Structure 1
Amino acid sequence: MRIPLDYYRILGLPIQATAEQLQQAHRDRALQLPRREYSEAAIAARKQLLDEAYAVLSDPDQRQAYDANFLAKTYELEPDRPGTSSTTTPAESTDTSSDPYTPSVDIHDDQLVGALLILLELGEYELVLKLGRTYLGNNSSLKNGRFGEPDIVFADIILTVALACLELGREQWQQGQYENAAESLEAGQELLLREGLFATVRGEVQTDLYKLRPYRVLELLALPEESTTERRQGLRLLREMLQERGGIDGTSTDQSGLNVDDFLRFIQQLRSYLSAAEQQTLFEEEARRPSAVATYLAVYALLAQGFAQCEPALIRRAKLMLVRLGSRQDVHLEQAVCALLLGQTEEASRALELSHDYEPLAFIRENSQGSPDLLPGLCLYSERWLQEEVFPHFRDLAQQQVSLKDYFANEQVQAYLEELPNESPNSNGWAGSSKVETNGQSSSTRNAGQFSNGREVGSYSQPPATATRLQQSVESEPRVAPATRAVTTVSQLGQVGAEHTTPVPSNSVPVTPPSSQRPASGIVARDGNAHNSLRPAALDHSGPPPRERSRSQVANGLRVPEPEDLPPRRGGEATSTSAKKSKPILLFVLGLLGLAALGYLTTKAFGWATSALQDSRGPKLEANQPMISLDRPLIAVPDPEDTAQAAAGPLTKEAAQTVVQTWLSAKAAALGPNHATTQLNQILTDGALAQWQQQAEDDKGSNSHREYRHSIGSIDAVEMSDVDPNQARIDAEVSEAAAFYVNGQLDPSLSYTSESIRVRYTLVRRDGRWLIREMDVQ
């Protein structure tokens, strides 16, 4: 039989090769053995073909005759032209050598597997597939032993075809043909699975399919909207990856080779290929795991879709989802935008007061000059933020123009805002960092009961602003360039305090083709802005309050506001009025105390008289009296010296366990249905105490609560400060699950199942008690 090869190609040489080159090529090819899965018969057949090619080309006379025939065949004209001849014998050739102008050589039947192996080594993958499948489809020619031992030959051909599929898939992968690559790999895998052969090769194919998956997702999702089936396939592959990883910020593996950082950048890259509705469905599902990143992305999708479609109900859902993030991260700027779009201007102002994003705040204040509030600046900022940082991440909104004026003029929006029930400023779960680091000193952050632009908020509720009022603010806003967005990015969720983000290289193509046969490590985000880069997020389920994002005195070129820069407290009249009212109250309290003392003395006197009368009659003991010994107390009374010594001594592991358990119990009570905050004072101090008291107040105002299930896995470390014996640190593993209820109804999107995390608690000892001052998720 004849195969479409020539002796020069068998040795991997050009026709001009010298005798020395022929000898070296033959030696090298003979030493380069094929994969160990091949049979001895296949390896021997390959060597026979190498030896035959070298024997012909190393003999000058044979080589001259072969070259003449080879050149005539290569450059010969059409058969019907004069001077042409053909040396092929189609009856003896393989199916693929029907082209009379393709060089070919005669081989013995038992050399077929060797010839296929050489074609594979030469990169003729499609030719190998065509030839190999021909013989696999006609098993009768193999079973009669024509090509050698049937079982051995069959296995060798299966292996060669599977390897051709593997290499062809890798070649197509390098060329950016990701779906074609997947089809080639899946064909090889299916063949091996069907025959139950070569598990090692099957593993290699499966590994490449896993690594190829991110590229396929991007290629499929980038197709036009009309390609419904293909885009649905892309979403299915994406959900498989998310399931295997345990979520967007999960730590399990999907075998793609992407670590947490790479995968977050991959998610950021594919967002521009998804519509707002697709992102809303996807990320709301992922937020239920729970996932801080998915919750934040779901908020973006709800905001974008709610604004674009003039559906404030979606924006209100986004606002509720921010409640959970607000307890761990500074998302007050997003909360302010949500409140604005819902016409809740007082809540928007209060959220701005709690925000630590100073650059946007400076922009908002600058563009609100001459106005009694920050509404004009916030309107301008919100419009620009939606246009430049929200809409571009949705394929159906990227080219759409943002107009707050048109949004508030919409009749559907007006009707919803007018019917929206009044909500107190505390009803939306504003919760932020408890302090700001300024020159290394911590200062308490103004809470909800403080002031917004010189006006006290938190003591009353204001109805939502009408669409007309907001339209006037929009129309009167100055048109200047907005400040750079400094709002919380997805990368900061769960890493409270992290200031750094990794810039993502720009890329105009869907994916970056791999430089080698390994995929996905080259995937980068299309958006080159640092604020859009994604970093790993470790969601804190144990409930430590958010660490404030520490800032130096100069942050991003802007001076961090000092206390004197903040709006002044207008409380003079309230203080004097309160002093006038305090006098009659004090007299009333003193009167009550006097009556109580008189009653106590009367009761004691009556008791003494009764006791004296009973003594005169003799003692009367009842049966079953407790066995009380007069030489020792009923209960162990601690020695005052021992107590003082323990209070002043180092923190033990048992005491650390008690501290953590006390905190978890206090948290469950404060954020539970009764919102009992009394226990917080017994375990928290400084900023942590103010933070969680505010969180409990916010939940109570929004008619929401949480039902927790806590457990302490272990106390891993207890360390005392080398400088101050009244300071210590606890490293503990804590598990927490929570069911979140709003208006008595369970909200699955804000609830989460049990998950173990490591938390570091910073403690301070005051009045003989260890109190938690700060918490940090490791």
Structure 2
Amino acid sequence: MDLPIDHFRLLGVSPSSDAQAILRKLQSRCDHPPDQGFTHEVLQQRQVLLQRSADLLTDQERREEYEAALLQLSETHPDGTVGLDLASSSEVAGLILLWEARASHEAFQLARQGLQPPQAPALGSGREADLTLLAALACCDAAAEDRELRRYEVAAGLLQEGIELQQRMGKLPDQQAKLEQALQALHPYRVLDLLSRDLSDQQAHLRGLALLNQLVSERGGLEGEAADAGTAQLAQSDFETFFQQIRRFLTVQEQIDLFGSWYEQGSEEAGCLVVFALTAAGFTRRKPELLEQAREQLVLLKTPDLDPMPLHGCIDLLLGDVAEAALRFGSLRDPDLKDWFADHPGDELAAQCDYCRVWLERDVLPGYRDVEPAGVDLDAWFADRDVQAYVDRLDRQAARQEESPTGSGMPDWLPLLDRPVSEFPEEDSVPAGEPESVTPAWTRQLPLGTMSRIAGAVVAALVIALVVQALMRQRTSSPRSEPTPIPVMPAEPQAEPSAPQATLKPEKGTVSALQPLTADQPTDDQLQALVQAWLDGKASALAGSGDPARDLASIARERLVERVRAEQAADAAAGRSKLIEASVTAVGPVNRAPQRIAVGAQVAYADKTLGGDGQVLEQTEPRTLSLTYVFGRDGKEWKLHDYIPGR
């Protein structure tokens, strides 16, 4: 065979070495043969080849002729490789010397060829054993060289060839296991190699995605719960560093798909990354529906070490839900973050916007191939036409819930809201006979016939309550001319007899005046009185006697007052009125700040809607509702800013 090596490399000496240095090297090589398990015969042949090279290089005349021949070959064949002719009996020994000379790639390929027909050795022969062992050793070293040069996929290809060869030979299970371990350890580097290539190499990119998915699945998710410390390619800390490095080679959509599949397989960290990827995609593409998906995903996460409130707050803010965002930011766990908000020079909303901007730039947008993390512009976000349309649609849905036909403003308990959002028209449609200028959003969206059908299931309970109350008070007046207020009966027996019960509302036009609340730190009783005054004023207005501007101006912000006024006008235009019984039975603090207070309240509630002829159109049976009331300080006065179902 033609061995691609010269005498200097075969012996391991420099072309400038003298005879004494060559002899010393010969002695060293003969005294230290490879000890990996080659046969005695091939090691003897190896020693003969070393001795032959040393004899030539120590003979001055022969050495000069050889060096002249090397020089001539380099001039006539500058790209050629010098070789040595070997007899077939010395082939394996020559390949061992080639491998020792760090020509591992050539040694592996030649050994592999020697094991295949028509050169395949006899089964069970020493030549077969030596070639099989040499192929495994040369393959492992060649792959290590490629790995050092960061040719990870080339190294993986060599290892796969070596494993297949060892499987076919079936002689060296220990060597096959070493090759498999080397291939497994190469897995993360292959992912990095394939994903970092130009996107024009689509096949390589898809292969990298598949390998990444396989790697994470084998580890049991991003947490590495299934990774064995003895067999894992990377320790968890190293894997996290590796993962951050490769994320920038993935598009945001690729990350959404990958993280979503890993979350479905049980990785909670992947669920967090889904939230970030959806937020990044939604913000950069101006698709708020993706932020809505991120918010829904965030609710599903079960990560006790993660405080979801800042994330919830930022997403709520981007979706235009300022009141809900304020509640989220008011429920922070991190004391340092609380101090940051308290020390912010601007108002509460300005602090939230600044935090959201930094959150997007630092935590959300970096780490994607197709997303630019710099230059977050919240003004441009809210000025976008698609964003405005989506936020308006959310507002209309919220308005339909808050301004439900019962007049309670408590949407979570009304049968109407069992209907999916898809059943409601996106554009307002005004029923005949209802002026658009005074018709609130929910009445423009829903025909009165629909609202009448909703009330049928709960009529009997309130009729009975009305009769009992009439008998107790021995009232003789007709409910057609002056409706009798309905006492709120608890839906279930109270656990403690001393628990406060709902009280009767004042008669028409007798809403008691409430002095503006100006205390720096209002007590729970003062806040409860403010909530009760709001409920009384709203009930009086919807009964057709009260004036929202007069009764509610010192209690609630203008936006809420206008909402009640619009509902009152809509009822008047439709020839109906509402009798509402709502009494605050308990309040408890949720969050307190110098300019904002949120309290949770239990409200005993019942209502009915009457037509122009005094007939009951709809009614809600007595029940206890849980709500959160948000108060803000307008100048020196505390006023109701918003109310939200739930606590």
Write the distance in 2 (CA, Å) between the matches of 1:327 and 1:102: 65
Write the distance in 1 (CA, Å) between the matches of 2:130 and 2:93: 9
- 1:604-615 pair list within 5 angstroms: none
Provide, for residues 426-459 of structure 1, a one-character-per-residue CA deviation record: whole Å limited to 9, x for no partner.
xxxxxxxxxxxxxxxxxxxxxxxxxxxxxxxx99
**Equivalences, count:** 417
Q: One-letter code of the match for 1:67?
A: R
> Which residue of the partner structure matches residue 712 of structure 1?
none
Contact 1:213 1:256 in 2 (8 A): no
> Which residue of the partner structure matches residue 353 of structure 1?
330
CA RMSD of aligned residues (A): 3.7
Change (3 A) 1:79 1:261: closer
> Which residue of the partner structure matches residue 121 of structure 1?
100
> Which residue of the partner structure matches residue 380 of structure 2?
406
Within the alignment, does 1:333 sit opposite 2:344 as a pair?
no
Contact 2:92 2:131 in 1 (8 A): yes
> Which residue of the partner structure matches residue 574 of structure 1?
526
3-state DSSP of counterpart to 2:27: helix
> Which residue of the partner structure matches residue 47 of structure 2?
47
Q: Which runs of 5+ in 1 are unaligned?
A: 81-97, 426-457, 462-566, 582-686, 688-696, 699-778
> Which residue of the partner structure matches residue 153 of structure 1?
127
Contact 1:424 1:460 in 2 (8 A): no
3-state DSSP of counterpart to 1:249: coil
Contact 1:163 1:188 in 2 (8 A): no
Between stretches 237-246 and 49-58, larger displacement belongs to 49-58
Contact 1:325 1:331 in 2 (8 A): no
Write the distance in 2 (CA, Å) between the matches of 1:342 and 1:79: 74
1:306 to 282, 290, 295: 282
> Which residue of the partner structure matches residue 594 of structure 1?
none
Write the distance in 2 (CA, Å) between the matches of 1:37 and 1:362: 69
Q: One-letter code of the match for 2:522?
A: R
> Which residue of the partner structure matches residue 32 of structure 2?
32
Write the distance in 1 (CA, Å) between the matches of 2:52 and 2:124: 25
Provide, for residues 1-39 of structure 1, a one-character-per-residue CA deviation record: whole Å limited to 9, x for no partner.
553444433321124434543343223212323243423
Between stretches 336-345 and 162-171, larger displacement belongs to 162-171
Within the alignment, does 1:316 sit opposite 2:312 as a pair?
no
> Which residue of the partner structure matches residue 756 of structure 1?
none
- 1:348 CA drift (Å): 0.9
Write the distance in 2 (CA, Å) between the matches of 1:305 and 1:69: 72
- 1:123 CA drift (Å): 1.1
Whose helix fraction is larger, Structure 1's or Structure 2's? 2
- 1:608-647 pair list within 5 angstroms: none
Contact 2:146 2:154 in 1 (8 A): yes
> Which residue of the partner structure matches residue 212 of structure 1?
186
3-state DSSP of counterpart to 1:73: helix
Write the distance in 2 (CA, Å) between the matches of 1:576 and 1:175: 73
2:66 to 70, 81, 93: 70
Contact 1:2 1:105 in 2 (8 A): yes
- 1:112 CA drift (Å): 0.8
- 1:7-406 pair list within 5 angstroms: 7-57=7-57, 63-76=59-72, 103-137=82-116, 139-142=117-120, 151-253=125-227, 255-323=231-299, 324-325=301-302, 328-358=305-335, 360-362=337-339, 364=341, 369=346, 371=347, 374-398=348-372, 401-406=375-380
Change (3 A) 1:69 1:419: same
3-state DSSP of counterpart to 2:366: helix
Change (3 A) 1:572 1:47: closer
Between stretches 337-346 and 71-80, larger displacement belongs to 71-80
Contact 2:217 2:262 in 1 (8 A): no
Write the distance in 2 (CA, Å) between the matches of 1:423 and 1:65: 104
Write the distance in 2 (CA, Å) between the matches of 1:375 and 1:311: 23
Change (3 A) 1:69 1:3: farther
- 1:469-548 pair list within 5 angstroms: none
Write the distance in 2 (CA, Å) between the matches of 1:240 and 1:105: 46
Write the distance in 2 (CA, Å) between the matches of 1:78 and 1:271: 48
Write the distance in 2 (CA, Å) between the matches of 1:46 and 1:406: 76
- 1:133 CA drift (Å): 4.5
- 1:277 CA drift (Å): 0.9
Write the distance in 1 (CA, Å) between the matches of 2:305 and 2:124: 68
Contact 2:288 2:390 in 1 (8 A): yes
Provide, for residues 155-187 of structure 1, a one-character-per-residue CA deviation record: whole Å limited to 9, x for no partner.
433332333222111111101111122122222
Structure 1 stretches of 4+ moved >6 Å: 77-80, 98-101, 458-461
Change (3 A) 1:189 1:172: same
Q: One-letter code of the match for 2:62?
A: Y
Write the distance in 1 (CA, Å) between the matches of 2:326 and 2:95: 75
